[in-house]
Structure 1
Amino acid sequence: MSQTPDVNSSPLRWVVYGPDARPDGFEALRAEWNDLVRRARFNSLFLTHEWQTTWWEQLGDGALWIVAFRRRHNNELVGIAPLFLREIQNGEDAGKRQFNIVGCIEVSDYLDLIVARGWEKQVYAAFLQWLCSPEAPAWDIVDLCNLPEASLTYQELPEIARRAGVDVKVMQEDTAPQFPLPMRYEEYLSNQVDKKQRHEIRRKQRRAEREAAVGFHLVQDLRTLDSEVDDFVALQRASRPDKAEFMTPQMHRFFLAAARRLLEADILRLFFLTLDGEKAAALFAFEYDRRFWLYNSGYDPASHAHLSPGWVLLGYAIQYAIASGCRVFDFMQGDEEYKYRFGAHDYKVMRVKLRRPEPLG
């Protein structure tokens, strides 16, 4: 390494909670965690204590390393690096030790180092200091995936890392289509959806309401939640072969656990569309920080397909989001065509890979 910043000159100090720490970082920082997430430049649901701990308990693999960054003079928490370290099993980097953010890669759409707005440069510098210090475990790669467009991590961390002698690669990983929500549903249809699609949305909704008894159901009862999630999973698996492949028994357990935690926190929005009393479509979504996060969906193509239950339910969900005071409707990762038909525009999802240089010889 070269030009590693001087630890003593930093306004921050770090506290490390390694794999053998008791209590671990999640427990030690519980009281401060979500407050810091709310103070970040992008208040990500997927960085909340509820999501992070549930993901780790259900899907975590490797050794948990959580690093807290505090101001020296008053001990204020201004940064958290929630990481796990594992050995890569396959590919050209097989055998190398890689850090990932807790939640990476598959089911957490927006991740980042958790940093109070205005403290990004100081936290990034301290993070590199820790990585280059004897206190960090041996590592080869740091993979920071699913960074939202608003993050400064892919914009400012790379230069700090290069000055520390670390190789850096920055790339766009995906897109997350979304659109702003106005005050009224008719305003959304008139101003944000083109004429042809506006007609299609209205036509399909009216046809369903004309030809079937339509119900719109929001799950709110913890006592029935498990069976409701099972019904959602059945519809999700029926939608497409790739969705059925994704929803493994382990992933089903994760959805159940996440649903319980997020319903208790009044974040989960699990919707069903019923047609003549039968569940025909479902949305697994969240309402958080005045943003509607559409996470997953499902419908049975063999039942009521001619009534387009997925489209109808999505139209109702947009109406719900507007009535609830949400300001953004976020389809999250994936560039599926239907998202653009509903007026969404691309939002970048970035990735930064830090790589420790190979030793000479």
Structure 2
Amino acid sequence: MRAELFTDPSVFVQLADEWDDLLARAVVPSIFLSHRWQSTWWRHFGNGHLLLITVRDEANRLMGLAPLFCSQESPECVSFIGCVDVSDYLDFIVDRSHAEAVYQTLWEFTCSPYMPRWEALNLCNIPAASPTCERLSALAQAAGFASSVTQESVCPVVTLPESWEAYLASLDKKQRHEIRRKLRRAEESAEVHWYVLGQPDEVAAHIESFIELHQKSTAEKRDFWDEKMVAFFRAISRSFAEAGWLKLYFIEFNGERAATFMCFDYRNEILVYNSGYDPERFAWLSPGIVLNAHIIEHAIQLGRRRLDFLRGDEEYKFRFGAMPEPVYRLRIERLSS
């Protein structure tokens, strides 16, 4: 196998037809590694030097991608494209049938003179299912580098059964009662209407409402937004809607929007990406919890097998029956000679 380094963003156009074909064959086929996500992130947040490595076999078929960069602030430190805040899972994109050879080729190239000299690889948000931490740590240590793996966070995940009633039965008695009670209270206290938008024109018309509700939720969420972030969310929501990957949920009480969730529908999973609600209106009716329950029921109706709440150990996720899956950071450093 042979590796090649690309430093010009035009490579995203060059690889457009091959990127997601490789991702479909990958060990970790995450939506955050898709061509749409990676190229959109780089266009809005890429502020340093692109270091994208391709690995091809003897037939010139793409077998691996290392979407890396180093920032202007820390040129000696190499990270994944997308690291860290808005991308919940990141990794190398490796053909699962040739993983060992691809990892070996990537590592050897990363240490070669063809790659700008780095002092540290700081690789965030690696999912538990990925072999990257184990494989790359072993290669690094064998070559005399220092490596460490730390757990960064968890992604609580619900395995979905075949029916809503079976899902409720899987919860403990207290949580099952709470969900039913909040759904009933909302229905008895207001005219409830929840719905999902997914067409590109619909999403473009209503993304500002999502942003507004997200900003209202907490001071931390309000401070999350700047011009770059707004532009990124507008772009990625439209791009994912065009691919059929976006579901924008809203719930209304008495005709007023009370809460919203942005979810991704990808590879038979629903990923609950972000949410917002208006704490000044209808907070006593728990609009976020009520809408979340409807999203789970909708995912079951669609036949999805998992609902991933993504990074964060907020208590409400576990009340919905989620189980934590760890997310790791791998750091490899050159040792002083």
Specify if TM > 0.5: yes
SS in structure 2 of the partner of residue 233 of structure 1: helix
Q: Does 2:66 align with 1:81?
A: yes
**After the TM superposition, which residues 93-132 of structure 1 pair with which residues of structure 2 at under 5 Å, given as runs?**
97-132=76-111
> Contact between 2:203 and 2:248, CA under 8 Å: does it hold in 1?
no
Find the counterpart in structure 1 of residue 211 from structure 2.
233
Q: Within 2, Cα distance between the matches of 1:238 and 1:224?
A: 22
Tell me the amino acid that sits aligned with residue 52 of structure 2.
Answer: I
> Contact between 1:121 and 1:157, CA under 8 Å: does it hold in 2?
no
Deviations 1:256-296 (A, max 9, x none): 11101000000011100011111100001100000110000
Deviations 1:43-74 (A, max 9, x none): 100000011111111111201121111112x2
Find the counterpart in structure 1 of residue 255 from structure 2.
277
Residue 184 of structure 2: which of 185, 206, 210 is its match?
Answer: 206
Tell me the amino acid that sits aligned with residue 17 of structure 1.
Answer: F
Q: Within 1, Cα distance between the matches of 2:108 and 2:125?
A: 23
**After the TM superposition, which residues 177-326 of structure 1 pair with which residues of structure 2 at under 5 Å, given as runs?**
177-191=156-170, 193-326=171-304
SS in structure 2 of the partner of residue 177 of structure 1: strand
Residue 248 (structure 1) shift: 2.4
> Contact between 2:160 and 2:304, CA under 8 Å: does it hold in 1?
yes
- Taking only the aligned residue pairs, the percentage that are identical comes to 41
Deviations 1:100-127 (A, max 9, x none): 1111111000010000113222122111
Find the counterpart in structure 1 of residue 3 from structure 2.
14
Aligned residues: 337
Q: Within 2, Cα distance between the matches of 1:214 and 1:287?
A: 24
Find the counterpart in structure 2 of residue 46 from structure 1.
32
76-85 vs 283-292, which moves further: 76-85
Find the counterpart in structure 2 of residue 31 from structure 1.
17
What RMSD, in angstroms, separates the aligned Cα atoms of the two structures?
Answer: 1.4
Moved over 4 A (4+): none
Tell me the amino acid that sits aligned with residue 70 of structure 1.
Answer: R
Deviations 1:112-169 (A, max 9, x none): 0000113222122111211221110121111111001000001111011111222211
SS in structure 2 of the partner of residue 35 of structure 1: helix
Find the counterpart in structure 1 of residue 54 from structure 2.
68
> Contact between 2:213 and 2:259, CA under 8 Å: does it hold in 1?
yes
Q: Within 2, Cα distance between the matches of 1:164 and 1:114?
A: 22
Find the counterpart in structure 2 of residue 7 from structure 1.
none
Tell me the amino acid that sits aligned with residue 299 of structure 2.
Answer: A
SS in structure 2 of the partner of residue 234 of structure 1: helix
SS in structure 1 of the partner of residue 89 of structure 2: coil
Q: Does 2:131 align with 1:152?
A: yes
Structure 1 residue ranges without an equivalent (≥5): 1-11, 90-94
Residue 304 (structure 1) shift: 0.8
> Contact between 1:79 and 1:123, CA under 8 Å: does it hold in 2?
yes
SS in structure 2 of the partner of residue 325 of structure 1: coil
SS in structure 2 of the partner of residue 137 of structure 1: coil
Residue 170 of structure 1: which of 141, 145, 149 is its match?
Answer: 149
> Contact between 1:61 and 1:84, CA under 8 Å: does it hold in 2?
no
Residue 224 (structure 1) shift: 4.0
Q: Within 2, Cα distance between the matches of 1:235 and 1:152?
A: 38
Tell me the amino acid that sits aligned with residue 34 of structure 2.
Answer: T
> Contact between 1:96 and 1:140, CA under 8 Å: does it hold in 2?
no
